[in-house]
């Protein structure tokens, strides 16, 4: 047996175990042969944030509701794990592969393997930067550039007519990921006309609370004056809030905070005056994804790009929305 075949077998076993443990399971044998159930292999980024947990739950629940067998694999934020999972899905001859790519580049080879095996691929949440559009059938998810732009527009408005430099520190998402790249560029674009906004430090916090706290602690030590924190997601903002409080400062007042996601914990922090603006990124993609899967399998044409509808919240709006917030 070749090394590659052996590796694929190991990966196959890994996904089979995950399937048995996950909510979409069915023991691995309840596929096309036994009940003509649609089988979807789904490779998730990981469990790095509250947003991600809500996204996983949405996809697993929607699959169940739609009668789709979901082979769920958690990549623990590693591209190599996603590639292994996709190869395993190909080997298992699933009907459709869906995945949220941890980073944007480096997918062409494995996506070509899926294409050669005639298994359609749907991108969900995050995009790939492949030039070959035939490697996937559709991309369902947010417009991350627009999200960054909304955060920047808020900042410009907030400091309109106020003199003096505004020192901004930025907590970036996972390096190389679509949301980190796009939220950074959207924000930069929105503030570029106003030289008073200075991004004095910018570093990745990998979309996690722990890293957000750690990097914010470093920012607080190295930067003599921080006016604003722009966090690429709520978990990093929440970690940073702990660091700010431990440094004896008031988040939302001494350091104003603009973040992205709109999860419940952030809305609670907003109701306490600790976050000043939150741009929504909707994780509830499960129903739309299952609809797409069914259409693709039925040979219907689907849009290449489906953008998620999203808003943005002031503290007052977040406080009002909190009792009914689903995630
Ligand atoms: O891809 C979506 C982003 O990934 C969310 O903003 C973040 O919370 C998650 O980890």
Give the domain CATH number at 171: 3.40.50.2300
Evaluate: CB of 312 within 6 angstroms of ligand 1: no
Average pLDDT of the residues of the chain: 91
Atom of ligand 1 nearest to the CA of 260: 6
Considering the domain architecture, whether residues 276 and 297 belong to the same structural domain is answered as: no
Considering the domain architecture, whether residues 215 and 169 belong to the same structural domain is answered as: yes
The Å distance, Cα 55 to ligand 1 centre, comes to: 9
- Judged against a pLDDT cut of 60, whether residue 28 lies above it is answered with no
Considering the domain architecture, whether residues 277 and 302 belong to the same structural domain is answered as: no
Evaluate: CB of 11 within 6 angstroms of ligand 1: no
Evaluate: CB of 51 within 6 angstroms of ligand 1: yes
Q: Give CA–CA dist 221/292, Å, rounded.
A: 48
Give the residue numbers spanning the domain of 273: 144-281
Residue 35's pLDDT is 59
Evaluate: CB of 126 within 6 angstroms of ligand 1: yes
Considering the domain architecture, whether residues 268 and 188 belong to the same structural domain is answered as: yes
Evaluate: CB of 52 within 6 angstroms of ligand 1: yes
User: Residue 149: what are its φ and ψ, rounded to 5°?
Assistant: -65, -45
Which residues make Cβ contacts (< 8 Å) with residue 324, sequence separation at least 6? none
Of residues 28 and 143, the one with the higher pLDDT is 143
Q: Give CA–CA dist 143/300, Å, rounded.
A: 25
The Å distance, Cα 270 to ligand 1 centre, comes to: 19
Considering the domain architecture, whether residues 268 and 287 belong to the same structural domain is answered as: no
Residue 87's pLDDT is 98
Which range among 17-21, 199-203, 252-256, 270-274 shows the weakest confidence by mean pLDDT? Answer: 17-21
Question: Phi-psi region for residue 273, left (φ > 0), alpha (ψ -120 to 50) or beta?
Answer: left
Evaluate: CB of 259 within 6 angstroms of ligand 1: no
What's the mean pLDDT in 17-42? 52
Q: What is the largest CA-CA distance in the chain?
A: 70
- The model scores a pTM over 0.85: yes
Bridge-based pairing state of the strands 166-172 and 277-280: unpaired
Considering the domain architecture, whether residues 94 and 202 belong to the same structural domain is answered as: no
Atom of ligand 1 nearest to the CA of 125: 1
Residue 45's pLDDT is 98
Evaluate: CB of 206 within 6 angstroms of ligand 1: no
Residue 56's pLDDT is 98
Q: Give CA–CA dist 81/110, Å, rounded.
A: 12
Q: In the numeric block, which tokens belong to residue 119?
A: 């298994």
% of the chain beyond a pLDDT of 90? 89
C-alpha 244: how far from its chain's center?
A: 25
Question: Among residues 311, 253, 294, which one has the least CA distance to residue 37?
Answer: 294
The Å distance, Cα 62 to ligand 1 centre, comes to: 20
Tell me how many domains the chain contains.
Answer: 2
The Å distance, Cα 126 to ligand 1 centre, comes to: 9
- Judged against a pLDDT cut of 90, whether residue 69 lies above it is answered with yes
Residue 85's pLDDT is 98
The answer as to whether 199 is a domain residue is yes
Evaluate: CB of 260 within 6 angstroms of ligand 1: yes
Q: Give CA–CA dist 232/174, Å, rounded.
A: 9
Question: Among residues 309, 5, 31, 260, which one has the least CA distance to residue 148?
Answer: 260
pLDDT tier, 36 (very low <50, low <70, confident <90, very high otherwise): confident
Which range among 25-39, 124-138, 170-184, 301-315 shows the weakest confidence by mean pLDDT? Answer: 25-39
For 197, other C-beta atoms within 10 Å of its C-beta total: 22
Considering the domain architecture, whether residues 117 and 236 belong to the same structural domain is answered as: no
Residue 6's pLDDT is 42
């Amino acid at each position: 047996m070749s090394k590659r075949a052996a590796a694929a077998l190991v990966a196959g076993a890994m996904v089979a175990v995950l399937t048995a443990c996950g909510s979409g399971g069915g023991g691995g044998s309840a596929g096309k042969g036994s009940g003509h159930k649609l089988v979807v292999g789904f490779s998730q980024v990981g469990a790095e944030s509250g947003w991600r947990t809500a996204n996983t739950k949405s996809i697993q629940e929607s699959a169940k509701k739609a009668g789709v067998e979901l082979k769920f694999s958690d990549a623990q934020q590693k591209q190599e794990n996603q590639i292994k999972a996709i190869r395993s899905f190909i080997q298992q001859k699933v009907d459709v592969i869906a995945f949220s790519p941890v980073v944007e580049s480096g997918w062409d080879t494995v996506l070509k393997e899926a294409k050669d095996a005639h298994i359609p691929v749907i991108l969900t949440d995050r995009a790939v930067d492949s030039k070959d559009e035939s490697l996937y059938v559709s991309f369902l998810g947010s417009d991350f550039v627009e999200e960054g732009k909304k955060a920047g527009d808020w900042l410009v408005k907030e400091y309109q007519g106020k003199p003096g430099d505004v020192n901004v520190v930025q907590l970036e998402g996972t390096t190389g990921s679509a949301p980190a790249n796009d939220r950074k560029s959207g924000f930069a674009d929105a503030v570029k006309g106003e030289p008073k906004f200075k991004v004095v430090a910018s570093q990745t916090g990998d979309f996690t609370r722990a890293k957000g706290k750690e990097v914010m602690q470093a920012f607080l030590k190295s930067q003599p004056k921080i006016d604003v924190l722009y966090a690429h997601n709520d978990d990093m903002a929440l970690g940073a809030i702990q660091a700010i409080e431990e440094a004896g400062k008031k988040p939302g007042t001494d350091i104003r905070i603009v973040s992205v996601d709109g999860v419940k914990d952030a809305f609670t922090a907003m109701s306490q005056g600790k976050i000043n603006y939150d741009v929504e990124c909707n994780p509830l993609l499960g129903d739309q994804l299952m609809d797409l899967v069914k259409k693709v399998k039925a040979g219907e044409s689907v849009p290449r790009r489906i953008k998620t509808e999203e808003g943005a919240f002031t503290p007052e709006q977040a406080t009002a929305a909190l009792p009914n917030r689903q995630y």
